[in-house]
Amino acid sequence: MKIIILILIIISVYNITPNFSKSIINNNNKNKNNNNNNNNNNNNNNNNKIFLTSSSSSSSLNNKKYILQEGYNFVDDKCSGNVVNTVYSGDGSCYFGNVFTCRDDGKIIYDMYEGYNCNGSIVVTEVIEANVCDSNSSQTYPIVYSCVDSIDIPTDGFLIYTSQDEDCGSKEKLVDLRIVPLNTCINDDPTYSFIQTCNSTNYSITKYYGSSCKGGPIGHAVGEITCYIDHPNEYSSQYVCL
């Protein structure tokens, strides 16, 4: 299976670019800096909007289906170890020009459109087998895809809620949720690995050479736990530390 891969979020400090999921899409965060001041004032309110802020284990939004992508470390080509990257995509939801759909036969359809708002022609279509370890695709992480009826939230982790509005993670228009475990060595390619941590105000990523997060770190990136709005494409993303 060959899926065109663009990196969702690029965190570039000392050349650190950990990929929270390699299966979807290019999020063009052009307006982060311009909106940080306004968004910080509303951050507490936005956190209250997020539909799961406690340690509850699952939630179902208006009986909506989701495409679940469970990513494993690069070296785990059998998908037998721990999940190090979790993504929920709304069934049939447009997310920066990309749509995942659950078929009645259990397979998953992936479509990429010309435009970020899923306008124009479909330029890529893929049929994805569900519940199969996909370690031979063009992705970095081996991934298992499935269709689910609810979202499971861990008791701790770094979360990014993205909705197709400027309401910063509102559950009614949620199109994408990605979860990264904390204090866990993650290797998304054979050369580098990283560990993610966070608190109520910031998230942190430490990068290492090699796949085991050993030796001295070669880079460190810090970002703010806040809301980021992409005005041209009408998406907003709320960062959360559990």
pLDDT in the model for residue 57: 39
The Cα-based distances of 222 to 41, 116, 184, 203 in angstroms read 20, 28, 17, 6
* Amino acid identity, position 14: Y
* Res. 10 pLDDT band, cuts 50 70 90: very low
Q: State the residue for tokens 């982790």.
A: 157
Q: What is the pLDDT of residues 12-50, one digit of tens each?
A: 323 333 333 323 333 333 333 334 444 444 443 333 334
Q: State the residue for tokens 């920066």.
A: 96
Q: What is the pLDDT of residues 203-225, one digit of tens each?
A: 999 999 999 999 999 999 999 99
* Amino acid identity, position 240: V
219-224/202-209 β-pairing: antiparallel
Closest residue by Cα to residue 119 from 237, 2, 234, 236: 234
| Per-residue tokens: 160 | 């990014």
pLDDT at 103 over 60: yes
Please measure the distance between the N-terminal and C-terminal CA atoms of the chain and give it in whole angstroms: 34
The answer to whether residues 222 and 13 touch, using CB atoms and an 8 Å cutoff, is yes
| pTM value > 0.85 | no
